[in-house]
Amino acid sequence: MNKFLKEFKDRGLFYQSTGDDELSDLLNNKSIKAYIGFDCTAESLHVGSLLQIMCLRLLQKHGHQPIVLIGGGTTRIGDPSGKDKTRKILNEEEINRNITNIEKILKNFLDDKDEKTKPIFVNNYDWLKHLNYISFLRDIGKHFTINKMLTFDSVKIRLEREQSLSYMEFNYMILQAYDFLELNKKENCMLQIGGSDQWGNIVNGVDLIKRYSGNQVFGLTTPLITLASGAKMGKTETGAIWLDKKFLSAYDYWQFWRNTDDRDVVKFLKIFTDLEIDEIEKIKNDDINNLKILLANKATEMLHGKEEAERSEKTAKEAFTQNSDGANLPTINIKKSTVEETINIIDLIIITKLEKSKSEIRRLIKNNGIKINNEVISDENLKINLDNFKNDYLKLSIGKKRHLKIELN
């Protein structure tokens, strides 16, 4: 088996492909270009996109050139895959801002030093905006049948639930297939990689290219990653795990990986780090907490750099130390006037967004789960004032894992 495909499978990245043997032969014979598409519906990608980013890194590792397609055109329509309602349509300014920031995030992960494997960034709006509707129907639409399109999950599930599916969204799979055709023509792109929910869209592209030009191309999908607990990857009690420091600090990102369920640690070392499989096999039975720290360091280093990873580990150790003042913790700023007269402890925690539910905060206080400056809070009516702030900040701890510095300005 081809080395790229073997590692792809060994790391748990493989779900299905349009032709294992043929793809393996192709990859053995030459370096290829392969693409993965990213929507630009938000200003930042979150950790749910990390699996696909690791696929791009693996392509580079094995000498192939990744094409990063940013869906500036298809974002204007919305992918119905996995959605139960029409997505909000963004305006031009929002889409362009999102594209710029997403490219910046992806460049943190990808190597641009080798011209042969340097990532190619494309925006499908560049070709979709020029389409003539009549010509598109005649040249591309004729290769699709409604019968087959209705069998794909992105359409079928919505219809079975009797949920609205607009004609605009119904066209999404045709446009994604057309993207693959364009990249095959312009860049000689031979492979599309995507999540398992994109299988129907990818197969459409493979079939379209075969019918349109007779070229043989391939599709490869990754599994849906769920936690051992059954929860969706990247969803936490405090919100999405963003890949932009503007929305999530390096420390909070490090903590996300450090708090991985014991049952997921080895799997995540394989999927979300560059550690070699043989090395992971040798250490997989080591102390679980050491493995979690290794995972957190490697994942954080990849996005934020080695210095930030080391600083985050140091800060985490300090946060668990009873006499730590929390000076290096992630910081939230509040106006001095907010606490000049006093503020209830519950209202203060709500402001920090570490907890959103007042009843949950009361439960935590009752169970000694909240500390101010390392002191357990037992009174839900406690009033916080300027006296609680040393050098204009205080340390708030919720449970064993969530710590924050509240600073006055």
pTM of the model as a whole: 0.81
What integer pLDDT is reported at residue 253 of this predicted model?
94
Query: Domains in the chain and their CATH numbers?
Result: 3-222 (3.40.50.620), 249-319 (1.10.240.10), 331-408 (3.10.290.10)
Mean pLDDT of 209-236: 88
pLDDT, tens only, 22-46: 999 999 999 999 999 998 989 999 9
Position 192 confidence tier, pLDDT thresholds 50, 70, 90: very high
* pLDDT score, position 230: 81
pLDDT one-digit tens code per residue, 223-265: 998 888 887 776 665 678 999 989 988 998 999 999 999 999 9
Mean pLDDT throughout 129-137?
A: 91
Q: How far is CA 111 from CA 6, 37, 120, 123, 272, in A?
A: 22, 18, 11, 20, 16
Structure confidence at residue 79 (pLDDT): 53
Q: What is the pLDDT of residues 156-175, one digit of tens each?
A: 777 777 777 777 777 888 89
pLDDT of res. 227: 86
What per-residue confidence (pLDDT) applies to 90? 81
What digits encode the pLDDT tens for the residues 72-130?
A: 988 887 655 545 445 567 888 899 999 999 999 999 999 999 999 999 999 999 999 99
pLDDT band at residue 289 using 50, 70 and 90 as cut-offs: very high
pLDDT band per the 50, 70, 90 thresholds, residue 196: very high
Q: What pLDDT sits at residue 145?
A: 82
Q: What confidence score (pLDDT) does residue 23 get?
A: 96
Looking at residue 229, what is its pLDDT? 81
Tokens 């209830």, residue located: 344
134-138, 184-188, 345-349, range with greatest mean pLDDT: 184-188
Whether the pLDDT of residue 322 is over 90: the answer is no
pLDDT of residue 352: 86
User: Which pLDDT value is given to residue 339?
Assistant: 84
Residue 84 is predicted with a pLDDT of 45
Q: Give the pLDDT mean for 386-390.
A: 86
Q: What percent of the chain has pLDDT over 90?
A: 60
Q: What is the mean pLDDT of the chain?
A: 89
